[in-house]
A and B are shown apart, each in its own frame.
Chain A
């Protein structure tokens, strides 16, 4: 068809659509043997003037309804042969599939763009709220420390003790905010691992020195067992340190006497770090819960021991992003061992945080 013809037809959308509409209703091809015998419409007039006499319209009907029509015109009047109609119906069926797929693909593209936009909004929101939440808290902690440091002069001992409670609560709140924001970022797929070469030994000793005084205060013995010849590893050193710090911190927190032991070993291209404590142990039912967000073994634990219950959820995600595993082995009354295993060399993070 020439461009002029197409343009002319396009302008006659209404009466042409009527024919298509009829055909789509009955879902069968409709043919006109001779347009000259039909009541004259603007479209048929154009067609006749262009020299076409016979017309066959084959509907394109998919699962979701009509997606279009195949229109075939012939200069010779007369009915279209059955074989031609069948051929065109086959062609139509294929076309429907192709059109529906194209539509689906288009939908998918649209959704994908929407999701990206939503994700960007979420990340902007997280950045903003992070700043908004921490700013006043920093002021609270800053002023309180100045008072406690007696910058403003002597303070009565009772007031000092109270202020130290205020500080402790403020720091706890800060920890909560950080945890919640960390987890939100992980959920939003916005944590990207910073992969560098690191030494497992260094991580273990960094955590050890960070928790040493905590363990001493509770009179818990802190042990370290690092296998000799640990290979140089590659991964996100800061975040793996965070994971180990969380596990060891928990071990100390939940153990009232005895010991906490950190053990690092490697085999078959993986590094395994295990943290064992002589605390009360964890029941099988609780073992399932504790890796989920906001779940602690029981709510009285939260009140006693504090924490958000987010640390393990975050730790698990981080380990999994390294392509590793985090698990616990424990029995009530027999302490607990939390272990994580990661490949020695992580070159790509697994999935989005």
Chain B
């Protein structure tokens, strides 16, 4: 069965890149542009994995991750958080929020795909 990935990212270019990358790798994609939309999307259409950017309007990636991880219904969905380069607080905060893995921007699409495949195969 085709695996479904929720991409939470506010920049259109980054969403396009992920669309092309993950699409060509055979994944189904749902998209959300901020943390709030992400929570709604998860309830509507349960994904197999979530790719969560941090810098999001309305509700940031940390908060959305925290909420998902404290919800018994959704906490088993793996969340890969995308952190920014060298903001040394990011990685620690991501781990504290409960993410399952993180990648730093700029991520190599190749490496990101490898990480996702790790969780979903």
Take A139-B11, A142-B13, A143-B13 as given contacts and tell me if A134 and B106 are in contact as well, using a CB distance cutoff of 8 Å: yes
Top 7 nearest A-B pairs (CB, nearest first) are: A139-B13, A142-B17, A138-B106, A151-B24, A145-B109, A141-B106, A138-B105
Q: Is the CB of B86 within 8 A of A134?
A: no
Query: In the bound complex, what is the Cα–Cα distance between A151 and B22 (angstroms)?
Result: 10
| Chain B residues touching A, range | 20 to 34
Q: Is the CB of B21 within 8 A of A146?
A: yes
Q: Is the CB of A138 within 8 A of B109?
A: no
Given contacts A135-B11, A149-B110, A194-B88, could you give 6 more A-B pairs where the C-beta distance is less than 8 Å? A130-B84, A134-B85, A139-B11, A142-B14, A142-B106, A142-B107
Say whether B73 faces chain A, with CB atoms less than 8 Å apart.
no
B-facing mask of A119-139, CB < 8 A → 1, else 0?
000000001001100111111
Q: Is the CB of A178 within 8 A of B13?
A: no
Name, among A130, A136, A138, A238, the residue most crowded by chain B CB atoms within 10 Å (CB to CB). A138
Query: In the bound complex, what is the Cα–Cα distance between A327 and B105 (angstroms)?
Result: 33
Residues of B within 8 A of A131 (CB): 55, 84
Residues of A within 8 A of B87 (CB): 127
Residues of B within 8 A of A146 (CB): 17, 20-21, 109
Chain A 144-161 residues near chain B, CB threshold 8 A: 145-146, 149, 151-152
Say whether A174 faces chain B, with CB atoms less than 8 Å apart.
yes
A-facing mask of B102-121, CB < 8 A → 1, else 0?
00011111100000000000
B35 to chain A, nearest CB (A): 17
A109 to chain B, nearest CB (A): 31
Q: Is the CB of A178 within 8 A of B106?
A: no
| Option from A130, A136, A139, A182 in Cβ contact (under 8 Å) with B17 | A139
Residues of A within 8 A of B85 (CB): 134, 178
Q: Is the CB of B105 within 8 A of A151?
A: no
Query: Could you name 8 residue pairs across A and B whose Cβ atoms are closer than 8 Å?
Result: A139-B14, A139-B17, A142-B17, A142-B106, A142-B107, A143-B13, A143-B17, A238-B88
Q: Chain A at the B interface: mostly helix, strand, loop or mixed?
A: helix
Q: Is the CB of A149 within 8 A of B86?
A: no
Chain B 11-31 residues near chain A, CB threshold 8 A: 11, 13-14, 16-17, 20-21, 24
A124 to chain B, nearest CB (A): 13
Residues of A within 8 A of B107 (CB): 142
Take A138-B106, A139-B13 as given contacts and tell me if A151 and B88 are in contact as well, using a CB distance cutoff of 8 Å: no
Residues of A within 8 A of B14 (CB): 138-139, 142
Query: In the bound complex, what is the Cα–Cα distance between A156 and B99 (angstroms)?
Result: 41
Residues of B within 8 A of A143 (CB): 13, 16-17
Residues of A within 8 A of B24 (CB): 151
Query: In the bound complex, what is the Cα–Cα distance between A151 and B55 (angstroms)?
Result: 27
Name, among A138, A142, A143, A178, the residue most crowded by chain B CB atoms within 10 Å (CB to CB). A142
Residues of A within 8 A of B109 (CB): 142, 145-146, 149
B97 to chain A, nearest CB (A): 20
Residue of A nearest to B113 (CB): A149
Take A138-B14, A139-B14 as given contacts and tell me if A178 and B86 are in contact as well, using a CB distance cutoff of 8 Å: yes
Q: Is the CB of B84 within 8 A of A151?
A: no
Residue of A nearest to B55 (CB): A131
Query: In the bound complex, what is the Cα–Cα distance between A262 and B89 (angstroms)?
Result: 31
Residues of A within 8 A of B110 (CB): 145, 149
A-facing mask of B71-92, CB < 8 A → 1, else 0?
0000000000000111110000
Query: In the bound complex, what is the Cα–Cα distance between A143 and B11 (angstroms)?
Result: 13
Query: In the bound complex, what is the Cα–Cα distance between A136 and B21 (angstroms)?
Result: 18
Q: Is the CB of B20 within 8 A of A151?
A: yes
Residues of B within 8 A of A142 (CB): 13-14, 17, 106-107, 109
